[in-house]
A = this chain, B = another copy of it.
Amino acid sequence: MNTELPKTVSEPTLKRLPLYHHFLKELLQREQEAVSCTDIGEELNLDPTQVRKDLEAAGISGRPRIGYATAAVVDGIERFLGWKKVSEAFLVGAGSMGSALLGYRKFEECGLKIVAAFDRDPAKVGRKIHGKHVLALDKLTDLAQRMHVLIGIITVPAVEAQAVADALVAGGVRAIWNFAPVRLRVPEHIIVHNEDLYCSLASLSQKLGQALEANPAEPVTARRLRTATLS
């Protein structure tokens, strides 16, 4: 296995790696020890070559005729994505979205441990949500500094997001996961990821609109699927 990692990996690749990870973990449970790009590609509707390129970018190599060792790929992806060493995060904004994220247990498997939540609302401060303490917002910068927290998650309304980002940066946070529909202004070395649901919705509804225009009354009846039963 090649341990040399390329300096930069493209965003699309980065977002596909968790898909492979998820699928391969399933295979591991079924005790399938090796897997080919072709198999992965078929399962996930991706080009096999692309899968191979992505794995290569993550520093993972396989063997001709054999494929990739499932466990090694899972391990390699986790290592490459930094899921091995858990980093602590603060979540700011204990509204509905914030609460939902606090309840996501699986984040910890991906190396993200939300250690505390912050909110402006005194009614929420002091309570616990999904087992995480909700603290007063004015403690944010100071605590981030003292606890050396490196990741901040912003789930406050748009108008407050910039101020929260400033507070996080002042506290030494290096990466921000922003759920507010605004572009944050931060120093260059801070990593910001925007999770803007309105943007996603936009592309969805635009495509739907076009599809409907092209084909208003889709003949779904012809290919009616069974009524699904939920296991």
Which A positions have Cβ atoms within 8 angstroms of B?
9, 11, 14-19, 22, 43-45, 80-83, 85, 87, 95-97, 99-101, 103-104, 106-107, 110-112, 120, 130, 137-138, 141, 150-151, 158-160, 163-164, 166-167, 169-170, 172, 174-175, 177, 181-183, 185, 187, 189, 191, 193, 195-209, 211-212, 215, 218, 220, 223-231
Question: Which applies to chain A's interface (DSSP): helix, strand, loop or mixed?
Answer: helix
* Residues on the B chain within 8 Å of A130, using CB: 96
Q: Measured between C-beta atoms, what is the minimum distance from A4 to chain B in Å?
A: 14
In the bound complex, residues from chain B placing their C-beta under 8 Å from that of A87 are: 205, 208
- State whether B187 touches A193 (Cβ < 8 A): no
Q: Is the CB of A197 within 8 A of B195?
A: yes
A209 touches B82 (CB 8 A): yes
Cβ 8 A contact of A205, one of B100, B112, B164, B224: B112
- List 5 extra interface pairs beyond A18-B201, A174-B208, CB under 8 A: A15-B202, A18-B196, A18-B202, A45-B185, A170-B220
